[in-house]
Every structure is written in structure tokens, then in C-alpha cells.
Amino acid sequence: MKAEKISEFTTHRLSIYLRCLAALDEEGVETISSKSLAERFNLNSAQIRKDLAYFGQFGVRGVGYPVRDLRRRISNILGLDSLHKVCVIGGGNLGMALAEYGGFLQHGFSVVAVFENSPAKIGTTWRNGVPVVSIGDLKETVRARGIEMAMIAVPAAAAREVCERVFDAGIRAILNFAPVRVVPRPGTKIQSIDLSISLEGLSFFLAGRATGTR
Amino acid sequence: MKAEKISEFTTHRLSIYLRCLAALDEEGVETISSKSLAERFNLNSAQIRKDLAYFGQFGVRGVGYPVRDLRRRISNILGLDSLHKVCVIGGGNLGMALAEYGGFLQHGFSVVAVFENSPAKIGTTWRNGVPVVSIGDLKETVRARGIEMAMIAVPAAAAREVCERVFDAGIRAILNFAPVRVVPRPGTKIQSIDLSISLEGLSFFLAGRATGTR
């Protein structure tokens, strides 16, 4: 396995394949060729074969990939065999939206705490039962609850300092929603969500340079 | 220009190049080679050359790309020469977070209205001045304000019906945050944000199969 060569674009595509395979599995489909998978979900069959080849030999020539088995393998590759505990830093609108986002739990991520510095919010419980905890208790809460990842939903001006505190607390993986570039420490990873990029994809479409509807 | 072959992954990378070029431009860098661009921002130089070749001949062999010119050209390709008016459907935590997200305006997207069905919210104004408007007034507001895009921030169960109303109102581009698959109409585009996918990239990293810190 050439793990060090796996780009974020590849893992992103693996996540997409995983969703497609889950849909097929739930429909009762047992095997599928890269060609059918590509046609059904608007993907690229050569890319599918190339991506999966990184991780070993899947599928049988002329028959296709075993849907459930491949689903399990990709899930395993992505480290999704067990539930991941996640926290949110910042209890504003975005933080609270993340705390109750329905998509996380269905994919194996459980939001177990929101960290805040506002005394008015600390000690309260969000409507789906997530506690709002003082940012001062970050380190001990992370340790006690086994939190592995943090989603940063603080204003841009506070994001860098908050990321340092998160690393100090022993968290190695950050999803950053603040519109500011934060540099990871060695051995850690920061993935930034730039919501404008998705709008730019739509802008490209509206500018008339793209056709089709996918 | 082979426009019909441009994938979402390509436009996504163009957006990333645009951000890198903006940073270089602000530093006063005038030309950069694909190799330096790749090294500086952790990108792939062959991919850069391939992506840009889709849109014509940029850069001078042995010299590099003219930073400001390339920045302008990519901005033009992505349809970012003028401001785009955007609305949010759903005035819950996520909708309000989107209405005040600082990153949009700096990239040329202005949120001009939030549409709601709750009488308690309709007629109010959000703290950054965005009005909360009845979903019943969607069509006329879209026409009057020249709204081109909608961000869907309603519960999953309501998302499909809301998208139909958005299309009926004449909007052709949707950014969907609801964790549900919505099918576009011909001539329209729906881009779905699946926040779990970013967490899966972090999970992959924590599972120890990826190295490095980018």
C-alpha cells in the first residue's frame, strides 16, 4: 500500500464510492463493475479502478466488485470501523448547527461536547443533549471523553489561537470552518472547509461553461 | 475549450489555485512556475499544467505563469467577475450561520435574503442586515433582487420539496446542506455539501494510513 501517496482528493472519492456502495447494498445489488458504478453515479470508471488499486486487489475481471465486501473494505480503509468522538469549538449559530447536524452520526461521528467561553452558555445542554462546556475544561474533557477530532466554529480572528489550544489538549485532527488559514503541527492534520469554493463551482456552471446536470 | 469535460474536481482545484494566486499577488510575486506553485502550496505540478491547459495557453515555458493575469483569467473562467446574489432557505442555526459567514462576500457572493416559514422570524432582520422573508414570497423576491443561487438549510425531510420551489422560482443553482440526495432538473445544478466526508478524511489520517501534515 502506497499510503503516503494518497491525496485528499483520493480519500474524498473513497467517501463518495462508500456512499454509492451503501446505496447499492441497501438495494440488494451484490456485484457491480467499475463501468456500471461510474454510469449509475456519474463517476469515472478509470478513476475508480485506479483509486481502488492503491489499496490492493478488489473485484474479479469480467464480474465486478463484490458490493458489500468492497463497502466494508473502504470503510475499514477510512478508519470508520468504530465510532469517532468529535467536539465543536464555538457555540454560535454555526457551532450549534454542527452539534445537531444529522449527517454526522449516520456516518459514524458523534458530537459529544461544544466548548464555549461565554458564561451564559457554559453548563447548558443543547436540544439534542450535547453539553456546552467551558473551553477552560478542554484538556480534561478531551481526555475523559476520548475526543479525537475538533470542529472549529469560532470567528476568524480567534481561530489560530483556538487551534493551538486544541492541539495542546491532545487532539490531532481538526476540521476548520473559520475562513482563515491555520498551519498544522507535525503529526496533526487540519482540513479547512471553504464554503465559497462550492459556490464558485455553481458560479462556473451559471457562467455557461459547464453543461449537464450532475 | 473542452468545457463539457470539466469535472467538479477540476473547478474545485481552480478555486484552490485562485486562492494561492491571490496570496502570491498580495505578496507582490509577479511570475511563478507550476513547480514553485506546487511546492509552495502542496499541490501537484503536472495536475496544475493539465488543469490550466483545458482553458488555453497560459504561462511561458521556462518563465512561469504571470500571477496577476492568471488570477484574473481563472476568476473569469469561474464566472467571478461580478458579485453573485445568493439566498438562504431556512432560518435555523445553520441558515443564520450561512447568512453571516464572512468568507462569502470576500469571494464575491452576497447573501441578500433568508427565507423562512416561521411567522415569528418573518419580517425580522438578521444582525448583519439580511432580511428574513416569507418563503411564500420566494418567487417575487428572487426576481426583484436578482438572486441566482440558493443555499438549502432546511431539515432533510423538507429539502426535496424546498428545492422544487427554488427551481420554480427560477433559480438554477443550489448548494444543498441537507443530508439527503436531491435530483436536479435539466439545466440546473445542485451541489451537495456532505460535511461527513471531511471528517472521513480526518478519520483516514488518524487511522494511520496517511502521513504528513497538509
- Does B174 contact A at CB distance below 8 Å? yes
Interface residue of B190, B196, B214 to substitute, partner A, most A CBs within 10 Å: B196
pLDDT tens sequence across B36-62: 999 888 788 888 988 888 777 777 777
Phi-psi region of A108 (alpha: psi -120 to 50; beta: other; left: phi over 0): left
How many angstroms separate the CA of residue A148 from the nearest CA in chain B? 9
The ipTM estimated for the assembled molecules is: 0.89
Contacts of A1 in chain B (CB under 8 A): 209
- Least CB–CB distance from A199: residue in B86, B188, B211: B86
CB contact under 8 A, A3 and B94: no
CATH number for the domain running over A3-77: 1.10.10.10
Say what the pLDDT of residue B188 is: 95
The C-alpha angle A8, A12, A17, rounded to 5 degrees, equals 145
CATH number for the domain running over B3-76: 1.10.10.10
Contacts of A176 in chain B (CB under 8 A): none
- Rounded CA-CA distance B190/A202 in Å is 8
Name the strand (E) or helix (H) holding B11. helix B8-27
* Interval B158-182 mean pLDDT: 94
Q: Residue B130 has which C-alpha cell?
A: 439580511
Burial level of A146, CB count in 10 A (0-12/13-18/19+)? exposed
- Does A54 contact B at CB distance below 8 Å? no
More confident residue, B88 or A106: B88
CB contact under 8 A, A202 and B186: no
Shortest CA distance from B176: residue in chain A = A198
Count chain A–chain B contacts defined by CB atoms under 8 A: 221
- Domain ranges for chain A, please list them: 3-77, 84-196
Give A81's pLDDT tier (boundaries 50, 70, 90). Answer: very high
- Does B148 contact A at CB distance below 8 Å? yes
- Does B157 contact A at CB distance below 8 Å? no
B134, B21, B152, B155: which is closest to B75 by C-alpha? B21
pLDDT tens sequence across B84-95: 999 999 999 999
pLDDT tens sequence across B180-191: 888 899 999 999
For domain B84-196, give its CATH number from 3.40.50.720, 3.30.365.10, 3.20.20.70, 3.30.230.10. 3.40.50.720
Contacts of B213 in chain A (CB under 8 A): 184-189
* Interval A128-133 mean pLDDT: 92
- Does A57 contact B at CB distance below 8 Å? no
Q: What is the largest CA-CA distance in chain B?
A: 63
Shortest CA distance from A185: residue in chain B = B213
Q: The dihedral of CA A97, A103, A105, A110: what is its sign?
A: negative
Q: The dihedral of CA B138, B142, B144, B145: what is its sign?
A: positive
In single-letter form, the type of residue at position A86 comes to V
Contact A203, B84 (CB under 8 A): yes
Say what the pLDDT of residue B212 is: 42
